[in-house]
Structure 1
């Protein structure tokens, strides 16, 4: 069984964790619970981390959006949902999503669709379009953007 941490130990470990990478309140609350820290002590620790700017939800949301866009190829819908699951405030989510460059966003969608199109064996254009549309929606891209991009990928 894991050692239960005292509040000062938990604060020190959480601060070290937050200084090495961006974390949101929900992530740290989960870690503290796993370390055996009581709910009252967790609130105190999280308040201190926020006060000392180890945790910043807006900064976390911006970093999350940039990473998921660049490395995972996620669209805005999927990123918004994931951030809502982590209980990030709606205004912070909106701010983070607004940091995405529209041209890069459209180019990334087009790249993903072209790569996926090469792996589809179906010759029927409608079936290809349907498969590509489902793929892009599963990545969290908006329907209108997908339709525009499909015009360039599937003639």
Structure 2
């Protein structure tokens, strides 16, 4: 494979950023992998930022929206992934604040109801803790998951499922 020059890589990265929201770290990884000089990498990233191909705040909002709506991730897991992508704390907070709390709680409740159907447990306590661990693994806070589970138990929803 032939090595591309800076101008060609700029065009490729512009097309890459146009196809979906990308963060600076994703673009930087591709450019480093293409074995460009560090100065060229910086120039390309600055140009992409100037021309609004890269916008960290826009990326954070899109990431939060997609991971919540399609993957049903909780705030904690989304936050960790955004930090891993080197998004600033302020932009993460702003993006997470766009989530509607009612919808957030409803997604958690639906996840727990669905998971409850497949959880095998010898008693209610074991079922409760398995569901709690599941919710925490999805990135929901233990207090949020506990509150939803409490509502499920008070509503009698858990009694529909046999113990195995």
TM-score range, shorter-chain basis? over 0.9
Output one character per residue of 1:18-70: Cα deviation in whole Å (capped at 9) or x when no partner: 11110000000001112221211000000010011000000000000000001
Pair member with larger Rg: 2
Shift of 1:3: 2.6
Query: Whole-Å Cα distance in 1 between the matches of residues 138 and 2 of structure 2?
Result: 40
1:140 lines up with 2:133 in the alignment: no
What is the number of residues matched between the two proteins? 154
Which has the larger displacement, 145-154 or 89-98? 145-154
- What is the root-mean-square deviation in Å for CA atoms of aligned residues? 1.0
How does the TM-score come out when normalised to structure 1?
0.96
Indicate the residue corresponding to 1:7 in structure 2: 6
Q: Which TM-score applies when normalising by structure 2? A: 0.91
Q: Secondary structure at the match of 1:10?
A: helix
How far residue 123 of structure 1 moved from its aligned partner, in angstroms, is 4.3
The whole-number CA distance in structure 2 between the counterparts of 1:15 and 1:49 is 7
Please list the CA deviations of residues 95-137 of structure 1 after superposition, one character each: whole Å capped at 9, or x if unmatched: 0000101000000000001111000121411000100000000
1:2-151 → structure 2 map (5 Å cutoff): 2-151=1-150
Q: Secondary structure at the match of 1:9?
A: helix
| Unpaired segments ≥5 residues, structure 2 | 155-164
Name structure 1 gaps, 5 residues minimum: none
